Amino acid sequence: MWLDPANPQLNKNGELHHLLSLEGLPAGVLRQILDTAESFVGVTQREVKKVPLLRGKAVFNLFFEPSTRTRTTFEIAAKRLSADVINLAINVSSQSKGESVLDTVANLAAMQADMFIVRHAASGAPYMIAKHVAPDIHVVNAGDGRHAHPTQGLLDMYTIRHYKGDFTKLRVAIVGDILHSRVARSQIHALTTLGCPEIRVIGPKTLLPSHVNRLGVQVYADMRQGLKDVDVVMMLRLQNERMKGALLPSAQEFYKYYGLTEDKLALAKSDAIVLHPGPMNRGVEIDSSVADGKQSVILPQVTFGIAIRMAVMSLLAGGQR
Amino acid sequence: MPANPLPDAEQLLASLTDRMRPAVGPDTGLVGIHTGGVWLAERLHQALGIKLPLGTLDVSFYRDDFNKKGLRRNVKSSDIPFDVDGCKVVIVDDVLYTGRTIRAAMNELFDYGRPASIRLATLVNRGGRELPISADFTGAEISAGADESIELARDAQGRLSLQLTRN
């Protein structure tokens, strides 16, 4: 096995071959991705927003779970690298799970795919695909179940570094539905690896994983306490389907206690920035005046997200064969 | 340590500056290639009294060996702070060898616009070209073996020197 068995996204030289999770990625690899993305931000501001790096390569967007935004940013990123992009939205219900996913992948590999961007409702699906593809094919996890969303975590790190610089002096709060959030997990792993000394998670007990403190974070049920003196506020999307179960009484009540309003944000540092992975539920987890306010960096996040995905794809595709 | 067999980079830069002076004006677009070429271009930009701001290129995203070697670490950002359309551009690099870096630089430059002309200035021309590319201004011709590499270095005082290493 030429991939590191302990961390199958790295080859034996410690270089990235797949991007499956930010968990276990060394700080050097994370910084290399962020630094490379910085160079791509320049490209996206030019007259011609393309570079020829992935010319002749075929990137398959393999979305077993619906997503418009993430798929689009991967598509834009791949096109700006001059790759050919093929979008496949695969309806899970029409497939029996397990083997048939691998059959789909094997068929696409036979069409000379070079890279799979995979989104799947089941945690671990991109790992299974990565395990079965030929050694010259790369897999990027674009969100799997509750597990991980590494490129979102990376673009959040890029955004924080852009506005705040050094991670080792920051107090960061992650607010909302931590339990179901792959974004939160990726953020926590990346912040920890990059040396962030204080990570707080804020949310109702029903939406916090039972052993979340084992990830090295501080848990707050009271948002006002949790936001006190933080440098960065990372909001999570409240998925409407959670409201139907017994986890939350109502969107109104969630907004009252955990919605980010101007008066709650005032408890954070005066220069604190506000992030949100989108799509936003205005009036549920975030108030419009905050989302559109001067501390919001939500739209720059989207722009940086393209550069991050360009960096990830070009680092994966460029050699190490 | 043996004496450095290579000529003094500061002297070469002085003669390169003299050769370029009659051929450039305040509106010449000077573009240095990272990293050595940028050091040279900064010095030339000042010495030649060029008014257009200095441009820099990192050609990593245009290299023809990407599929073999991948992206190297510490890719810098390219920055062309002037309008390339219709501009008379001079690309500056430290060592002209195979010509592949210059090809990549020209390709990248054209993604910023259509220059009126492109000329090339290099401190050292070491032969060994693999593409039909030649320099318009050169500090010196130096012959070096295929197993040798010549690199420009800059010390803390900003003094430039040439280093020869055997691979």
Which residues span the domain enclosing B157? 9-166
Q: What is the structure's pLDDT at A1?
A: 52
Q: Mean pLDDT check: name the lowest of A180-194, A267-281, B61-75, B134-148.
A: B61-75
Helix or strand or coil: residue A79? Answer: helix
Domain positions in chain A are 27-148+303-317, 150-297
Residue B4 counted as domain residue: no
- pLDDT of residue A95 exceeding 80, the answer is no
Mean of pLDDT values over A122-146: 94
Check residue B167 and give its pLDDT.
Answer: 78
Amino acid at A74: F
Confidence class of residue A321 from pLDDT cuts 50, 70 and 90? very low
Position with higher pLDDT, A247 vs A303:
A303
What would the two tokens of residue B161 be? 């020197």
Look at B78 and A314 and tell me if their CB atoms are within 8 Å. Answer: no
Q: How far A94 CA sits from the closest chain B CA (Å)?
A: 38
Residues A46/B61, Cβ–Cβ less than 8 Å: no
User: Which single residue is written with the structure tokens 């290299």?
Assistant: B63
Position A215 scores a pLDDT of 86
Best residue in B66, B68, B72, B74 for a mutation probing chain A (most A CBs within 10 Å): B66
SS3 sequence of B28-49: CEEEEECCHHHHHHHHHHHHCC
Q: Which residues of A touch B69 (CB under 8 A)?
A: 318-319
Is the Cβ pair A314, B107 closer than 8 Å?
Answer: no
> Computed over its alpha carbons, how large is the radius of gyration of chain A?
19
Q: Do B112 and A320 touch (CB under 8 A)?
A: no
Question: Which pLDDT score, from 0 to 100, does residue A89 have?
Answer: 81
Chain segment B30-73, per-residue pLDDT in tens:
999 999 999 999 999 999 999 999 999 999 999 999 988 888 88
Q: Which residues of B touch A (CB under 8 A)?
A: 58, 60-62, 66-71, 73-79, 107-108, 111-113
> Lowest-confidence range among A43-57, A88-102, A162-176, A224-238?
A88-102
Which ranges of A197-247 does DSSP label H, i.e. alpha helix? Answer: 223-226, 241-244
Cα(A208)–Cα(B17) distance, integer angstroms: 66
- The mean predicted confidence, pLDDT, of chain B is 94
What burial class does residue A153 get, using C-beta atoms within 10 Å of its C-beta: 0-12 exposed, 13-18 middle, 19+ buried? buried
What is the pLDDT at residue A241? 66
pLDDT at A313: 97
CATH number of the structural domain A150-297: 3.40.50.1370
Which tokens hold the place of B154?
A: 């800059």
Would you say residue A54 has pLDDT above 60?
yes
Region B148-163 average pLDDT: 95
pLDDT of residue A94: 54
- A272-298 pLDDT, tens digit per residue, is 999 999 999 999 999 999 999 999 999
Query: What mean pLDDT is predicted for residues A47-74?
Result: 92
The pLDDT value recorded for residue B4 is 63
Has residue B160 been placed in a domain? Answer: yes
> In Å, what is the CA distance from A3 to each residue of A12, A132, B17, B104?
6, 12, 51, 32
Which residues, 6+ apart, have CB-to-CB distance to A163 below 8 Å?
A: A273, A297
pLDDT of residue A102: 87
Q: A27-148+303-317 belongs to which CATH class?
A: alpha beta
- Quote the pLDDT of residue A320: 47
Residue pair A283/B33 in contact by the 8 Å Cβ criterion: no
Question: Is A169 a residue whose pLDDT tops 90?
Answer: yes
Classified as helix, coil or strand, B131 is coil
* DSSP 8-state code for residue A284: T
pLDDT band at B1 (very low <50, low <70, confident <90, very high): very low
The Cα A8–Cα A20 span in angstroms is: 9
- Tell the residue number behind the tokens 């677009």, with chain if given: B29
Q: Is residue B3 scored above 60 in pLDDT?
A: no
CATH number, position B153: 3.40.50.2020
Q: How far is CA A149 from CA A98, A119, A320, in A?
A: 21, 9, 24
User: Looking at A151-160, A186-195, A241-250, B74-83, which range is the least confident one?
Assistant: A241-250
Neighbours of A97 (CB within 10 A): 12
pLDDT at A123 over 50: yes
Structure tokens at A246: 């017994």
- Positive or negative, the CA dihedral A193, B61, B108, B48 is positive
B2 CA: distance to closest CA in chain A (Å): 35
Q: Which of A34, A46, A115, A313 has the highest number of chain B CBs within 10 A, making it the mutation to test binding with B?
A: A46
Rounded distance between C-alpha atoms, residue B10 and residue B139, angstroms: 10
> Is there a contact between B36 and B63 (Cβ–Cβ < 8 Å)?
no
Confidence of residue A103 (pLDDT cuts 50, 70, 90): confident
Domain count, chain B: 1
List the Cα angle B147/B150/B154 in 5-degree steps. 150
Is position B32 within any domain? yes
Distance of CA A157 to the CA centre of its chain: 10
pTM (two decimals): 0.91
Q: How many CB atoms lie within 10 A of CB A3?
A: 16
Average pLDDT over residues A262-268: 98
Position B89 confidence tier, pLDDT thresholds 50, 70, 90: very high
Half-sphere exposure of A81 (CA within 13 A, CB side): 34
Task: Give me the count of residues in chain B.
Answer: 167
- pLDDT for res A7: 86
Q: Would you state the pLDDT for residue A314?
A: 96
Under the banding of pLDDT at 50, 70 and 90, the label for residue B2 is: low
C-alpha distances (whole Å) from A280 to each of A235, A240, A288 are 9, 11, 10
Concatenated DSSP letters of A139-208: EEEEEETTTB-HHHHHHHHHHHHHHH--GGG-EEEEES--TT-HHHHHHHHHHHHTT-SEEEEE--GGGS
Over residues B21-42, the pLDDT tens digits come to 999 999 999 999 999 999 999 9
Higher pLDDT: A47 or A129? It is: A129
Tell me if domain A27-148+303-317 and domain A150-297 are identical in fold: yes
Nearest CA in chain B to A40: B77
